[in-house]
């Protein structure tokens, strides 16, 4: 057992506070990682505040983790002590269902779904018939800590071309936005719309530009225009009816990164016929979709959830190759509660990454 420390909340209205906890030594197929950096995802806030109605306390979030391998189990072959590695939203899956066998662990249909990096399992024992828990753990602790133990095949290689702190947001924000672009066949020359220009949105713009797409950002924040344009994107203030009309039926794909319930109806007129609007940010009931419009253009609304381990490695490698790095602000772990407020207020430019050295 290792004595560890991290930041966790004890209830939905509690601030995150430092806690001590015990961590089992790595098993044969596991590595223990000394955490260097952890990104702050809007999901962390949803989870800590029990907005998905499934939070187990203490809640210790963080799923954009970069660190250094400190110990490796004796069967480990993929990583070595000293390697700079990453951990994203998953740390295990059932490995037996069709999705897992097909390399899409993020859609694991095992009894507990995939094992979430924090607050895992995804489907808790209490909700599974006969109380099954294939992972034997009821509340995993994430990356707002000094250490984590993970099965080696759920650990990503951070390419040397990426700075560790900048690689962190790719592990959730990066793969969550690239995975649907790949799945829906976004290709060079396509016109891609990105709704929301925050942690996910700004990474999505960089990825879509690197894919060779023309990119338009839709945002409610006029003060984000310059940043979007500096990435080579067009910028549309959501309320600008005239501009929206001029963009009618011009998009091949629209990705909504807005992290809360919102109205996607204004965007269907911008999509070409037969195309899809995918929402990755808002994991909740959306505003009602007007099928009078979608039917007339045979359009689809879809959801997409993070990405597989293979896709996560691919986004890291893609970003290293294309010299893509998220725009981050490094913060001290002691500033995490203020950081949450700023994320809620849309003030972050564009992703907070916690320097975990501040914890020690």
Regarding 15 and contact with a second copy (CB under 8 A), the answer is: no
CB–CB of 142/9 below 8 Å? no
Name which of 67 and 120 has its Cβ closer to a second copy: 120
Regarding 294 and contact with a second copy (CB under 8 A), the answer is: yes
Regarding 299 and contact with a second copy (CB under 8 A), the answer is: yes
Regarding 285 and contact with a second copy (CB under 8 A), the answer is: yes
Regarding 233 and contact with a second copy (CB under 8 A), the answer is: no
Q: For residues 37-56, which are near a second copy according to CB under 8 A?
A: 52
Regarding 89 and contact with a second copy (CB under 8 A), the answer is: no
CB–CB of 326/349 below 8 Å? no
- Our CA angle for 175, 178, 183, nearest 5°, is 115
CB–CB of 236/216 below 8 Å? yes
Regarding 280 and contact with a second copy (CB under 8 A), the answer is: yes
- Taking CB under 8 A as the criterion, the residue among 283, 322, 327, 344 binding a second copy is 283
CB–CB of 318/208 below 8 Å? no
Regarding 128 and contact with a second copy (CB under 8 A), the answer is: no
- Taking CB under 8 A as the criterion, the residue among 68, 107, 209, 337 binding a second copy is 107
- Taking CB under 8 A as the criterion, the residue among 207, 254, 282, 316 binding a second copy is 282
| CA 351 to the chain's CA centroid | 11
Regarding 126 and contact with a second copy (CB under 8 A), the answer is: no
- Taking CB under 8 A as the criterion, the residue among 113, 166, 216, 219 binding a second copy is 113
Name which of 166 and 299 has its Cβ closer to a second copy: 299
Give the interface segment with a second copy, choosing from 28-36, 69-77, 233-241, 287-295 (CB under 8 A).
Answer: 287-295
Residues present in the chain in total? 360
Beta-carbon contacts of 153 under 8 Å, excluding residues fewer than 6 positions away, are: 29, 78, 309
Regarding 75 and contact with a second copy (CB under 8 A), the answer is: no
Regarding 309 and contact with a second copy (CB under 8 A), the answer is: no
Regarding 335 and contact with a second copy (CB under 8 A), the answer is: no
Q: Is 232 helix (H, G, I), strand (E, B) or coil?
A: coil
Regarding 189 and contact with a second copy (CB under 8 A), the answer is: no
Regarding 303 and contact with a second copy (CB under 8 A), the answer is: yes
- Our CA angle for 274, 278, 281, nearest 5°, is 170
Name which of 296 and 357 has its Cβ closer to a second copy: 296
| CA 207 to the chain's CA centroid | 14
By CB neighbour count within 10 A (0-12 exposed, 13-18 middle, 19+ buried), where does 119 fall?
buried
Regarding 267 and contact with a second copy (CB under 8 A), the answer is: no
Name the residue among 26, 104, 36, 114 with its Cα closest to residue 72. 26
Name which of 42 and 79 has its Cβ closer to a second copy: 42
- Taking CB under 8 A as the criterion, the residue among 49, 183, 322, 342 binding a second copy is 183
CB–CB of 124/173 below 8 Å? no
Q: Is 176 helix (H, G, I), strand (E, B) or coil?
A: helix
- Taking CB under 8 A as the criterion, the residue among 19, 70, 289, 344 binding a second copy is 289
The label of the residue with tokens 């009602």 reads 288
Sign of the C-alpha dihedral computed for residues 139, 145, 147 and 152 taken in this order: positive
Minimal distance in Å, beta carbon 299 to a second copy? 7
Residues in the site for a second copy, rule: CB under 8 A? Answer: 52, 99, 107, 109, 113, 183, 249, 273, 276, 279-280, 282-305
């Amino acid at each position: 057992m290792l004595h560890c420390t991290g930041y966790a909340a004890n209830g939905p209205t509690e601030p995150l506070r430092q806690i001590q906890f015990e961590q089992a030594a790595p098993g044969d197929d596991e590595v223990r990682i000394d955490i260097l950096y952890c990104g702050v995802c809007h999901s962390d806030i949803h989870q800590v505040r029990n907005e998905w109605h499934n939070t187990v306390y203490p809640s210790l979030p963080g799923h954009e983790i970069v660190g250094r391998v400190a110990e490796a189990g004796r069967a480990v072959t993929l990583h070595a002590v000293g390697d700079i590695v990453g951990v994203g939203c998953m740390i295990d899956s059932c490995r037996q269902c069709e999705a897992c066998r097909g390399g899409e662990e993020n859609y694991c249909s095992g009894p507990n779904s995939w094992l979430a990096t924090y607050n895992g399992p995804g489907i808790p024992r209490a909700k599974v018939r006969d109380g099954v828990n294939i992972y034997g753990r009821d509340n995993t602790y994430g990356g707002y800590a000094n250490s984590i133990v993970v099965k080696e095949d759920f650990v990503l290689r951070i390419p040397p071309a990426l700075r560790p702190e900048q690689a962190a947001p790719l592990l959730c924000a990066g793969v969550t936005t690239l995975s649907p672009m790949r799945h829906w066949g976004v290709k060079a020359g396509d016109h891609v719309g990105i709704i929301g220009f925050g942690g996910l949105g700004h990474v999505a713009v960089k990825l879509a530009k690197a894919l060779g797409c023309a990119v338009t950002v839709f945002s409610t924040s006029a003060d984000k225009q310059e940043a979007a344009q500096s990435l080579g994107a067009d910028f549309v203030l959501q309320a600008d009816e005239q501009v929206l009309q001029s963009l009618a039926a011009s998009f091949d794909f629209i990705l909504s990164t807005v992290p809360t319930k919102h109205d996607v109806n204004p965007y269907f007129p911008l999509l070409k016929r037969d195309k899809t609007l995918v929402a990755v940010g808002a994991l909740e009931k959306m505003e009602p979709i007007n099928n009078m419009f979608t039917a007339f253009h045979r359009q689809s609304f879809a959801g997409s959830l993070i990405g597989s381990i293979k896709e996560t490695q691919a986004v890291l490698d893609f970003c290293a190759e294309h010299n893509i790095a998220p725009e981050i602000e490094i913060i001290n772990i002691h500033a995490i509660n203020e950081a949450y407020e700023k994320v809620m207020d849309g003030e972050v430019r564009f992703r907070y990454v916690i320097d975990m050295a501040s914890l020690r």
